[in-house]
């Protein structure tokens, strides 16, 4: 995937998914099935319609708030790329959804960790 700005200096990224043969809407839906939340998003000079654009927007604040670092970001990036390369692979989606769930259990939301069960 191509990061639209060639990189990022902050917690947000805008990626062009057309290089993978997908639209932003397709990418958002495929990743959503794996419990990975992104937003479909137009990219500069996008020729596609706003409801089915060429890109996705990704952010890291929810991950860093949970204490995730570079190793976890690399793992999540690998999952994202695997899903977007095979968006219709139901077995892959189920496997990654389970791995996402396990990772999230290891890094609970701070407020949830403070609440007694």
Q: What is the pLDDT of residues 38-82, one digit of tens each?
A: 999 999 999 999 999 999 999 999 999 999 999 999 999 999 999
Are residues 53 and 67 in contact, defined by beta-carbon separation less than 8 angstroms? Answer: no
pLDDT level of residue 2 (50, 70, 90 thresholds): confident
Cβ-based neighbours of 108, under 8 Å, separated by 6 or more: 66
**0.75 surpassed by pTM:** yes
DSSP track, 57-115: EEE-HHHHHTT--HHHHHHHHHHHHHHHHSTT-HHHHHHHHHHHHHHHHHS--HHHHHS
In terms of Cβ atoms closer than 10 Å to its own Cβ (0-12, 13-18, 19+), residue 83 is buried
Q: Does domain 2-109 bear CATH number 3.90.1150.10?
A: yes
**Residue 15 near residue 83, CB atoms below 8 Å:** no
Between residues 116 and 77, which one has the greater pLDDT? 77
Provide the CB-side half-sphere exposure for 52 (13 A, CA).
4
Assess whether pLDDT exceeds 90 at residue 36: yes
């Amino acid at each position: 995937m191509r990061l639209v700005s060639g990189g990022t200096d902050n917690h947000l990224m805008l990626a062009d998914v057309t290089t993978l043969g997908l639209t932003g809407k397709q990418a958002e839906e495929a990743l959503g099935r794996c419990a990975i939340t992104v937003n479909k998003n137009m990219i500069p000079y996008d020729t596609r319609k706003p409801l089915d654009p060429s890109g996705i927007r990704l952010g890291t604040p929810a991950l860093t708030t949970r204490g995730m670092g570079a190793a976890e970001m690399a793992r999540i990036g690998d999952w994202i790329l695997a899903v977007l390369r095979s968006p219709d692979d139901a077995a892959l989606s189920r496997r990654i959804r389970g791995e996402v769930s396990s990772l999230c259990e290891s890094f609970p939301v701070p407020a949830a960790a403070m609440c007694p069960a």
